[in-house]
Chains A and B, each alone.
Chain A
């Protein structure tokens, strides 16, 4: 029986137990949730670039963005057949359909007389390929000057009496010092159930700003992201850290031919003159009137690309690295870090979506049986605990957390192998066994068998410390699972 089936089973039993109770319809919703796309929240402090990144991931300018504080209401973006916006009132009343229109692509929702504080969340249904793999949740930043808005996010992410609404989280972090209290606290502010390296990825957002728009800014950002990812306090809460220049990624996803034509005019300038022109944002707007670009066009280019984006795009065009709009879009997406983020998302979240969804559901059930015990609920609770403690994917996740928390100790190389083997870098066999992505079945089988023998030896070695031995047994089970799946003999 798979984890998904077991979870569905215990959920059905819980629905029977709680029939006729307030909790019943929530349980039914939980059951739907198992069939829906994974829910990924985009969280982080105010002005971290959450909406911009969300747009980049969707590939459309949906969420409104602005230089000032902008996102005021928690907003769900999900795939559907029709375009629709619903408002869920804060007092728990009936959801209300709202009117909306698009302003330069971004959604402008008419709250229809509701104050932002009266709305618990907005639910946007939007036919989109990208939203089919994940429902995205945009949040107002924490640390906002408006306390009300911050509280909304808090409620969404730390829901006490109901299930955690999101299955996984993208934490957007700006470049902060590792001693920064804000930095450490950011995770607690936005914790989803528990700070957990299992369901969270860190995004070093606005990465182009780290080098203040120098052409090597992204390289600098990557170095910093790597350092952050090895920082102990970061490792405890996120799996990895990926640098992303959100604005550039968003623009690359929605690049127009007209914009490329405008950029070509700048790229046609001699290097020195282009450099002078791009020395500051103000200069770009005001200097060289003979360029054939109006101030309005220039300002809009700046708004879309940022100074770093214009510098990068014109350099690419001038050097001929990119010649067409498609080329340029591809290059910019790659260089913005979005491609890497997508890969990481897919290997760490999407390939593991069932485990993550089951985890959310089981945690919710666990909370419910404790806060609202009823006749028969103890049986449900016992079964939930049984699944949580015995299902192999969960044991893997727990060992992963334990490694990240520093409880499992050993030689760094051994620990790194262990982490990979139990799916720390992604759950495909190639990633677990550190093989190239195109490794064929016999190669994978051979590697899995080798790993199995190696870890069996480690588990039985009397010199191996207790914690590592326990973890090793989980690793053995992971190897066996891979071998069984590939149809090899044990």
Chain B
């Protein structure tokens, strides 16, 4: 009987995983147990990233502080946040600086030192700061990421925030009530939606701007016109902070934060918990299916000796198939290897094409104006153009890798599905209805594609862009040689200016090329590494799966062969035992499926 999903799917699934683990233990399947242990771990320590983005000085850090009711992100009228701050739950308040090295390193610091590490100029090499504080809001795994708003929404930093958003559950876009959304903010939101589907727009500083209602309405209109389904939630961090300090619930309601918290709890936290539970439940169901298949084969073999011969023969044929699946030449394996090779070349080609276009644009811009006037602007422009192209290139990599992962999964499923079905054929008991095959399809489909994301997350992490930014600084143009003597001269002023301008233009073009070369080199290596990691991840995943199938099949074969030798009395007894086991497993599987479906 499928149980009705309770209010807390995570707790339900936790018991199901425990039951599954006990079953694996009882049947001596440590390989399957390993899978469930992994699921158990991710249930115990869920991580739900919510990224806070927006222009410089819109009140992002204040919003985060007000949200968690503690002064964790430094706020200043002038100085800006330099590195992302990850605010998450912890029993004691602690803080650490994160370094994106290989392997990633973290350095414990005291809470008082957070300010020095977060605000500009920040600490050399730091990729982020993590602050843990005990908060109910964060207890279910919510991690709030405060990002630097430096450089405007068109900048390289913004692209880095977008890359981080790709890994996030939701995005809080912060804009203050001083003015309606600008073109660049709307453009950013459009891009952000591609990277992260759940976006909420927080309208800050409503205590200070008397016309915030008008701005809210204007923003809602703009969002509707641009078909951006993001709710606008007006908030005031000042009132919320005061409400938290004085424990004034009326003031808290006035601050508008209640609605934001509700949004985070229901739409973000709730949904993430559901998905997390679903994933774990799917693992439980998959493990049950394998165990069931093994018992069903044995049960079929127990009916009579003729049937037993039949089962043994079929299982032997299945063994051949499974061996094929495990072989290096298996179709899924070929698909994977070819796919990665193609992807490598396509991603590389795409990157080169993009960089080439940037160089062209840069050349045109340099031709149009004197670099002496425009270079200081050219540099951030170039960085931001490159960062956005890298982001697009990364999106291509992500989408194609996901598609490849699906294809590999599909091929594996076709081959293994056949195998699994075969085990089931000899004994079409009423319990083995079509529904079983269906749910297997469903399960496999669900898990397909996820593998690539897991690999991407471990390889990419979104931090790369921020790190790249550090490496990109210092595109310098040599000394600008416009001698003042010439400026003051009377004759030939224009000709000399022109000559010098051409010299500067060439110098600038060379600088752009050097820079782009460097980016190509670093990024090329990085995407090759990422793809290699994906390949390894997928290969390991499906090899393990094949090994599991192999073991399931071997055990089924062994027990079927043993069944042949048993006496009738033994058979009856064993059949009864198996039926009991099967009933338990089916019940567990159905419970798990109920969670997956809900």
Task: Say yes or no: is B573 at the interface (Cβ < 8 Å to chain A).
Answer: no
- Chain B: CB-nearest residue to A175: B57
**Are A220 and B77 also in contact (CB < 8 A) when A279-B239, A299-B210, A470-B484 are?**
yes
Q: Which of B10-18, B325-333, B485-493, B553-561 contacts A (4 or more CB under 8 A)?
A: B485-493
Q: With the chains together, A385 CA to B493 CA distance in Å?
A: 9
Task: Say yes or no: is B30 at the interface (Cβ < 8 Å to chain A).
Answer: no
Task: Say yes or no: is A281 at the interface (Cβ < 8 Å to chain B).
Answer: yes
**Are A467 and B483 also in contact (CB < 8 A) when A209-B208, A223-B78 are?**
yes
Contact A398 B487 (CB under 8 A): yes
Which of A46, A280, A299 lies in contact with B206, CB distance below 8 A? A280
Q: How far is the CB of B319 from chain A (nearest CB, A)?
A: 63
Q: Specify which chain B residues have a CB less than 8 angstroms from the CB of A233 in the assembled complex.
A: 376-377
- A281-327 contacts to B, CB under 8 A, are 281-283, 285, 299, 302-303, 306-308
**Are A68 and B210 also in contact (CB < 8 A) when A184-B377, A389-B493, A467-B484 are?**
no
Q: With the chains together, A303 CA to B155 CA distance in Å?
A: 35
Which of B78, B155, B214, B485 lies in contact with A466, CB distance below 8 A? B485
Contact B483 A280 (CB under 8 A): no
- Map CB proximity to B onto A218-240 as digits: 1 under 8 Å, 0 otherwise: 00110110010000110010000
Task: Count residues of A near B (Cβ-Cβ below 8 Å).
Answer: 64
- B372-412 contacts to A, CB under 8 A, are 372-374, 376-377, 380-381, 384
Q: Specify which chain B residues have a CB less than 8 angstroms from the CB of A308 in the assembled complex.
A: 208
Task: Say yes or no: is B482 at the interface (Cβ < 8 Å to chain A).
Answer: yes
Q: Specify which chain B residues have a CB less than 8 angstroms from the CB of A385 in the assembled complex.
A: 490, 493
Q: With the chains together, A306 CA to B205 CA distance in Å?
A: 13
- Chain B: CB-nearest residue to A227: B78
**Are A471 and B184 also in contact (CB < 8 A) when A145-B222, A220-B78, A233-B376 are?**
no
Contact A279 B151 (CB under 8 A): no
Task: Say yes or no: is A213 at the interface (Cβ < 8 Å to chain B).
Answer: yes
Q: Specify which chain B residues have a CB less than 8 angstroms from the CB of A46 in the assembled complex.
A: 179, 182
Q: How far is the CB of B201 from chain A (nearest CB, A)?
A: 16
**Are A180 and B208 also in contact (CB < 8 A) when A280-B238, A407-B482 are?**
no
Task: Say yes or no: is B150 at the interface (Cβ < 8 Å to chain A).
Answer: yes
**Are A67 and B215 also in contact (CB < 8 A) when A281-B210, A407-B484 are?**
yes
Task: Say yes or no: is B19 at the interface (Cβ < 8 Å to chain A).
Answer: no
**Are A236 and B376 also in contact (CB < 8 A) when A281-B210, A467-B484, A470-B488 are?**
yes
Task: Say yes or no: is A212 at the interface (Cβ < 8 Å to chain B).
Answer: yes
Task: Say yes or no: is B548 at the interface (Cβ < 8 Å to chain A).
Answer: no
Task: Say yes or no: is B180 at the interface (Cβ < 8 Å to chain A).
Answer: yes
Q: With the chains together, A470 CA to B482 CA distance in Å?
A: 13
Q: How far is the CB of A25 from chain B (nearest CB, A)?
A: 28
- Map CB proximity to B onto A61-77 as digits: 1 under 8 Å, 0 otherwise: 00000011100000000
Contact A466 B483 (CB under 8 A): yes
Q: Specify which chain B residues have a CB less than 8 angstroms from the CB of A299 in the assembled complex.
A: 210
- Chain A: CB-nearest residue to B376: A233
Task: Say yes or no: is B294 at the interface (Cβ < 8 Å to chain A).
Answer: no
- Chain B: CB-nearest residue to A389: B490
Q: How far is the CB of A154 from chain B (nearest CB, A)?
A: 14
Task: Say yes or no: is A183 at the interface (Cβ < 8 Å to chain B).
Answer: yes
Task: Say yes or no: is B193 at the interface (Cβ < 8 Å to chain A).
Answer: no
- Map CB proximity to A onto B141-171 as digits: 1 under 8 Å, 0 otherwise: 0000000011110110100000000000000
Q: How far is the CB of B408 from chain A (nearest CB, A)?
A: 42
Q: With the chains together, A308 CA to B183 CA distance in Å?
A: 28
Which of A143, A213, A236, A389 lies in contact with B208, CB distance below 8 A? A213
Q: With the chains together, A456 CA to B27 CA distance in Å?
A: 100
Q: With the chains together, A299 CA to B211 CA distance in Å?
A: 10
Contact A390 B490 (CB under 8 A): yes
- B474-511 contacts to A, CB under 8 A, are 480, 482-485, 487-490, 493
Task: Count residues of B near A (Cβ-Cβ below 8 Å).
Answer: 55
Task: Say yes or no: is A452 at the interface (Cβ < 8 Å to chain B).
Answer: no
Which of B178, B184, B214, B380 lies in contact with A179, CB distance below 8 A? B380
Task: Say yes or no: is A127 at the interface (Cβ < 8 Å to chain B).
Answer: no
Q: Specify which chain A residues have a CB less than 8 angstroms from the CB of B207 in the assembled complex.
A: 279-282, 307
Which of A144, A279, A466 lies in contact with B238, CB distance below 8 A? A279
- Map CB proximity to A onto B268-297 as digits: 1 under 8 Å, 0 otherwise: 000000000000000000000000000000
Q: How far is the CB of A236 from chain B (nearest CB, A)?
A: 7
Which of A68, A181, A283, A407 lies in contact with B155, CB distance below 8 A? A181
Which of A281, A303, A306, A408 lies in contact with B484, CB distance below 8 A? A408
- Chain A: CB-nearest residue to B373: A195
Main secondary structure of the interface of A (DSSP, over half): helix
Q: How far is the CB of A250 from chain B (nearest CB, A)?
A: 16
Q: With the chains together, A408 CA to B205 CA distance in Å?
A: 45
Task: Say yes or no: is B56 at the interface (Cβ < 8 Å to chain A).
Answer: yes
Q: With the chains together, A179 CA to B381 CA distance in Å?
A: 10
Q: How far is the CB of B350 from chain A (nearest CB, A)?
A: 25
Task: Say yes or no: is B236 at the interface (Cβ < 8 Å to chain A).
Answer: yes
**Are A281 and B152 also in contact (CB < 8 A) when A181-B377, A232-B376 are?**
no
Q: Specify which chain A residues have a CB less than 8 angstroms from the CB of B214 in the assembled complex.
A: 67-68
Task: Say yes or no: is B107 at the interface (Cβ < 8 Å to chain A).
Answer: no
- Chain B: CB-nearest residue to A145: B183
Contact B154 A181 (CB under 8 A): yes
Q: Specify which chain A residues have a CB less than 8 angstroms from the CB of B184 in the assembled complex.
A: 143, 182
Q: With the chains together, A393 CA to B213 CA distance in Å?
A: 52
- Scoring A46, A182, A233 by chain B CB atoms within 10 A of each residue's CB, the highest score goes to A182
Q: How far is the CB of B473 from chain A (nearest CB, A)?
A: 10
- Map CB proximity to B onto A166-183 as digits: 1 under 8 Å, 0 otherwise: 000000000111011111
- Map CB proximity to A onto B76-91 as digits: 1 under 8 Å, 0 otherwise: 0110100000000000
- Chain A: CB-nearest residue to B384: A181
- Map CB proximity to A onto B43-62 as digits: 1 under 8 Å, 0 otherwise: 00000000000001101000
Which of B57, B59, B77, B488 lies in contact with A398, CB distance below 8 A? B488
Q: Specify which chain A residues have a CB less than 8 angstroms from the CB of B484 in the assembled complex.
A: 399, 402, 407-408, 466-467, 470-471
Task: Say yes or no: is B574 at the interface (Cβ < 8 Å to chain A).
Answer: no
- Chain A: CB-nearest residue to B205: A212
Task: Say yes or no: is A364 at the interface (Cβ < 8 Å to chain B).
Answer: no
Contact A185 B377 (CB under 8 A): yes
Contact B254 A282 (CB under 8 A): yes
Contact B151 A181 (CB under 8 A): yes
**Are A210 and B77 also in contact (CB < 8 A) when A175-B57, A180-B155 are?**
yes
Task: Say yes or no: is A445 at the interface (Cβ < 8 Å to chain B).
Answer: no
Contact A181 B179 (CB under 8 A): no
Contact B151 A285 (CB under 8 A): no
Which of A69, A176, A206 lies in contact with B180, CB distance below 8 A? A69
Q: Specify which chain B residues have a CB less than 8 angstroms from the CB of A183 in the assembled complex.
A: 152
**Are A279 and B242 also in contact (CB < 8 A) when A181-B381, A467-B485 are?**
yes
Q: Specify which chain B residues have a CB less than 8 angstroms from the CB of A420 in the assembled complex.
A: none
Q: How far is the CB of A79 from chain B (nearest CB, A)?
A: 32
Q: How far is the CB of B77 from chain A (nearest CB, A)?
A: 4
- Chain B: CB-nearest residue to A210: B77
- A254-295 contacts to B, CB under 8 A, are 279-283, 285
With A195-B373, A474-B488 given, can you name 5 additional A-B contacts, CB distance below 8 Å?
A46-B182, A67-B211, A282-B206, A282-B210, A470-B484
Q: Could you list 30 A-B pairs, sorted by A, with CB under 8 Å?
A: A46-B179, A68-B214, A68-B215, A68-B218, A69-B180, A145-B222, A177-B80, A179-B150, A179-B155, A179-B157, A179-B380, A181-B155, A181-B380, A181-B384, A183-B152, A184-B376, A184-B377, A188-B374, A211-B77, A212-B59, A220-B77, A224-B78, A280-B238, A282-B210, A282-B254, A306-B210, A307-B207, A389-B489, A470-B488, A471-B484
List residues of B whose CB falls within 8 A of some A CB: 56-57, 59, 77-78, 80, 149-152, 154-155, 157, 178-180, 182-184, 186, 205-212, 214-215, 218, 222, 236, 238-239, 242, 254, 372-374, 376-377, 380-381, 384, 480, 482-485, 487-490, 493
List residues of A whose CB falls within 8 A of some B CB: 46-47, 67-69, 143-145, 175-177, 179-185, 188, 194-195, 206, 209-213, 220-221, 223-224, 227, 232-233, 236, 279-283, 285, 299, 302-303, 306-308, 385-386, 389-390, 395, 398-399, 402, 405-408, 466-467, 470-471, 474
